């Protein structure tokens, strides 16, 4: 059982999310705004924070910026459809994932499960990682799919290593570029070319990728084919 903090000023959404999580066996604490959320977080520990973006007193972004210097707790944002800037802002500020309103409870619970079982950091990742018939040898910087070996370029390796450090979460274009090249070290077009090259080496069908999925206007998500 996990302890989850749900923050939303809309009572219908707040209670609906609370009840869905409680049915999954989680202990759920709720807050109606950012100020209350931070007070609750200061009083006790949580395994996950689910927060709306726009709220009175302190919005979700302010909550995230207050949490990140002192906690790496996973944070799932509830965002509004079509607000790509909003999604990019929260992800660049340190959010782990987002889901767009209105959302189905099945998808929401799947995102929650993914965040709660998130893998350890890259330093603890095994030398060889497998996804179906794909084997990734991190030490040798090569991949093998279906018996065919492909060597990765340093840039492809850096991108894949970043993905493996936090599988399942969304990487914005800016965050991924800063991680691989340094801030301002490449353009979105350059990143797109490198992603395409990496997909040709690790995807069964690069035209219909399952491992590296595109989040339109935002960035990329490494799913491991799940």
- Give the domain-ending residue among 94, 116, 138: 116
Q: Identify whether residues 147 and 215 lie together within a single domain.
A: yes
Q: Count the residues in the chain.
A: 226
Which range has the worst mean pLDDT, 43-47, 80-84, 215-219?
Answer: 80-84
CATH number at residue 214: 1.10.10.10
Residue 11 clears pLDDT 90, i.e. is over it: yes
Output the CA–CA distances (angstroms, integers) from residue 137 to 33, 45, 62, 69, 160, in the order listed: 45, 36, 40, 33, 11
Q: Identify whether residues 174 and 156 lie together within a single domain.
A: yes
Which range has the worst mean pLDDT, 56-70, 71-85, 111-125, 190-204?
Answer: 111-125
Q: Identify whether residues 84 and 168 lie together within a single domain.
A: no
Cα 72 from Cα 89, distance rounded (Å):
17
Q: What are phi and psi of 28, to 5 degrees?
A: -120, 130
Q: Identify whether residues 109 and 135 lie together within a single domain.
A: no
Q: What are phi and psi of 22, to 5 degrees?
A: -65, -35
Q: Identify whether residues 130 and 106 lie together within a single domain.
A: no
Q: 19-46, pLDDT tens digit by residue?
A: 999 999 999 999 999 999 999 999 999 9
Residue 50 clears pLDDT 80, i.e. is over it: yes
Give the residue from 108, 106, 112 showing the smallest Cα distance to 26: 112
Domain count, the chain: 2
In which band, very low, low, confident or very high, does the pLDDT at 82 lie, cut at 50, 70 and 90? low
- Give the domain-ending residue among 101, 116, 131: 116
In degrees, to the nearest 5, what angle opens at C-alpha 68 toward C-alphas 63 and 70?
A: 110
Output the CA–CA distances (angstroms, integers) from residue 114 to 118, 140, 219, in the order listed: 6, 28, 18
Q: 85-137, pLDDT tens digit by residue?
A: 788 888 888 888 889 888 999 989 988 988 887 644 444 445 788 888 888 88
Give burial (CB, 10 Å; 0-12/13-18/19+) of 24: middle
Q: Identify whether residues 144 and 102 lie together within a single domain.
A: no
Q: Do residues 225 and 210 make contact, with C-beta atoms less than 8 angstroms apart?
A: yes
Look up the domain containing 188 and give its range.
122-222
Q: Identify whether residues 98 and 167 lie together within a single domain.
A: no
Q: Identify whether residues 130 and 57 lie together within a single domain.
A: no
Cα 110 from Cα 116, distance rounded (Å):
10
- Give the domain-ending residue among 53, 86, 116: 116
Q: Identify whether residues 179 and 127 lie together within a single domain.
A: yes
Q: Identify whether residues 94 and 151 lie together within a single domain.
A: no
Give the residue from 211, 186, 205, 197 showing the smallest Cα distance to 156: 197
Which range has the worst mean pLDDT, 26-30, 89-93, 182-186, 215-219?
Answer: 182-186
CATH number at residue 101: 3.40.50.2300
Q: Identify whether residues 95 and 157 lie together within a single domain.
A: no
Q: Identify whether residues 134 and 202 lie together within a single domain.
A: yes
């Amino acid at each position: 059982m996990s302890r989850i903090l749900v923050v939303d000023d809309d009572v219908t959404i707040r209670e609906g999310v609370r009840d869905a999580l409680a049915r999954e066996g989680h202990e759920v604490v709720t807050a109606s705004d950012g100020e209350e959320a931070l007070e609750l977080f200061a009083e006790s520990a949580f395994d996950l924070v689910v927060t709306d973006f726009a709220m009175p007193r302190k919005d979700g972004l302010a909550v995230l910026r207050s949490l990140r210097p002192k906690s790496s707790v996973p944070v799932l944002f509830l965002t509004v459809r079509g607000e790509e800037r909003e999604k990019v802002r929260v992800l660049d500020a340190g959010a782990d994932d987002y889901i767009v309103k209105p959302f189905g409870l099945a998808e929401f619970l799947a995102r929650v499960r993914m965040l709660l079982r998130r893998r350890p950091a890259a330093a603890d990742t095994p030398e060889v990682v497998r996804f179906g018939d794909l084997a990734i040898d991190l030490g040798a910087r090569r991949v093998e799919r279906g018996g065919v070996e492909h060597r990765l370029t340093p840039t492809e390796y850096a991108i894949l290593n970043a993905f493996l450090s936090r599988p399942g979460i969304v990487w914005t274009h800016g965050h991924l570029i800063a991680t691989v090249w340094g801030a301002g070290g490449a353009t979105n077009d350059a990143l797109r070319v490198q992603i395409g090259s990496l997909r040709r080496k690790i995807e069964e069908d690069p035209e219909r990728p399952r491992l590296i999925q595109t989040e339109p206007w935002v960035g990329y998500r490494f799913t491991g084919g799940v």
